[in-house]
Homo-oligomer: A and B are copies of this chain.
Amino acid sequence: MKKPRVLIIGGGFGGYFCAKHLRKICRGTVELEIISEINYFVFQPLLPEVAAGTLNPQDAVTPLRTLLKGVKVRLASVQSIDTEAKQVVLIQGQKRILQRLDYDHLVIATGQVTNLSMFPGFEDHSLTMKNLSDAFRLRNHIIECLEVADVTKFKELKQRYLTFVVAGGGFSGVETIGEMLEMIERILPQYPNISLDEIRAVLVQRGKTILPEMSAELGDYARKKLEQRGVEVLTETAIQSATRYAVCICDRNSEQQQSIPARTIVTTIGNGPSEFVKNLPIELERGKIAVDANMRVKGLNNIWAVGDSALTPVTCKKTGEQSFAPPTAQFAAQAAKQLAKNIHNSLNGKPLTLFCYQSKGMLASLGGYRGVAELYGMRFTGLFAWIIWRGLYIGMLPGFTTRLRVALNWFFDYFMPRTIVYMGEPPTTATHFAYFSKGDCIHHANEIPQAFYVVVEGELKQLLEQDGQLIERTLKPGDSWGSRALKESRLTTGEVIAAEKSKLLIMKSEDFTRLRGVYNPLDQQLESQDR
């Protein structure tokens, strides 16, 4: 008999822990596959330390293949779900043809994405702290700011490059500003023309206290500690918009607006559903996938959802109270464990169980060897809380080598200077030239359109379907294609083959669509050409 196939989309806390527990419970009786757009598991609480250069980026995360031996790991991007055919549709690698994978049970654990559309300019001018690349980019960005500020002769520009604004006073925001400041304090001696009092760090929080998930006492302690180190903590303040040069904030009591010139804006707020989740043939509630108390997607028998992308009902273990799980790693990991049991039971015709849980506590690092912790009702602050933070987190990291690597990073960071190697993004271009030999297929039929193509040299044949008939078109230097498929965002109909050695200019769809969208003459030209 063919083993049932369980497909998991997403390798974060929900997806990874679900795969891990399923592998354990089912012991080879199911075929397990995890699909992820990144090939590693990120323990998000460590990202601020990557941004501060304490941890090497590759050391702070663990490859999914290493963690999930026996589970098939696929680096791919899921486009949609065909619930009728019980298949997911995905693309992987360079060949952007839609491929289909069967499933018997499907777990959606894709998390949320940052959505800053309500704050004009934030999408384009602020950095986020969602994944490893974000953290690594922030680290390099800080170094770049200091490099420029150290040598510039423009006073105003210097002040702007030395101003760091973090939006959001939750765990991520507080840890980010704390660690960032620690990094700056440590590397500043290498920048002889900058003094510490020229550094301006601002934490903007909408609510009355920072770390609102913890008790007010701990929030106040965190605020005091950050302020002692020079951070301006602005509570009851809303972010409004950002420009290339400044961030605009508003005091929520006085409604007074203020513009802070800043080169660095880090945003830790604004989560929303991804395009993938929005387009699912599935009911959403509050922007999340609606699931029943067993974590089954409402109305579907073999699709489940867990983690931040789902609105998971939870029953408090102690009080029996019913609520929804907060979007934290702790809940996602526990819910995933329960979900694994439920899938196993469902496969074996056994009854499902509700998700019951109670938070064990919360921890935050403030940088500079200080932290706050709330565990099983007890509260800790200062160095002791910071030590608990490190101890517990290293215990929670998956994989022995990752634990060892992180511990070694921490150990050596204590003794060694933090490096200021600036690894800025390489100057990549979005357009590129591509060469093809005679007979090469440039574009498959039914490929997802991904670019606008212009012939530079050579000759190509394009097969087009018109009124049900296949016609052939010859493309010569100066000819272009792709604009129509991009505009109508549909699959391409015909393939393009190089009739001889050819050179093309390829412009990525996103850029092309943007340019066409705002630059009228180009749009008009293409309209007439595509008619």
Contacts and interface: CB of A to CB of B under 8 A. Distances in A.
Interface stretch (A14-22, A119-127, A307-315, A318-326): A119-127
A511 interface: yes
A44 interface: no
B75 A422 contact: yes
Given A259-B437, A433-B124, A151 B75 contact: yes
Contacts of A416: 401, 404-405
User: Of A39, A241, A412, A503, which is in contact with the most chain B CB atoms at under 10 Å from its CB?
Assistant: A39
B152 A440 contact: no
5 contacts: A63-B419, A125-B434, A404-B416, A430-B431, A521-B522
B58 A421 contact: yes
Contacts of A433: 123-124, 514
B95 A157 contact: yes
B190 A63 contact: yes
A362 to B, nearest CB: 28
**By DSSP majority rule, is chain A's interface helix, strand, loop, or mixed?**
mixed
A423 interface: yes
Interface in A309-359: none
A525 to B, nearest CB: 4
Contacts of A95: 152, 154, 157
A57 interface: yes
Nearest to A192: B72
User: Of A92, A95, A143, A147, which is in contact with the most chain B CB atoms at under 10 Å from its CB?
Assistant: A147
Given A243-B435, A433-B124, A525-B522, A39 B417 contact: no
Contact of A92 (B72, B148, B259): B148
Contact of A39 (B75, B420, B429): B420
A132 interface: yes
A431 B512 CA distance: 8
A429 B426 contact: no
B421 A40 contact: yes
Contacts of A200: none
Given A152-B92, A511-B431, A519-B478, A246 B437 contact: yes
Contacts of A215: none
Given A423-B132, A478-B518, A515-B431, A243 B436 contact: yes
Contact of A244 (B53, B125, B440): B440
Given A39-B143, A431-B515, A505-B514, 20 more contacts: A56-B59, A58-B419, A58-B421, A58-B423, A62-B421, A63-B422, A74-B151, A75-B148, A92-B148, A124-B434, A243-B437, A248-B437, A401-B416, A405-B416, A429-B510, A430-B511, A456-B518, A505-B519, A521-B522, A522-B525
Interface string A130-151: 0011001100000110011001
Contact of A507 (B63, B478, B511): B511
A148 B92 CA distance: 7
B425 A428 contact: yes
A66 B190 contact: yes
User: Of A40, A65, A132, A416, which is in contact with the most chain B CB atoms at under 10 Å from its CB?
Assistant: A65
Contacts of A377: none
B422 A40 contact: yes
A384 interface: no
Interface string A66-103: 10000010111000000000000000111100010000
Contact of A151 (B53, B63, B76, B401): B76
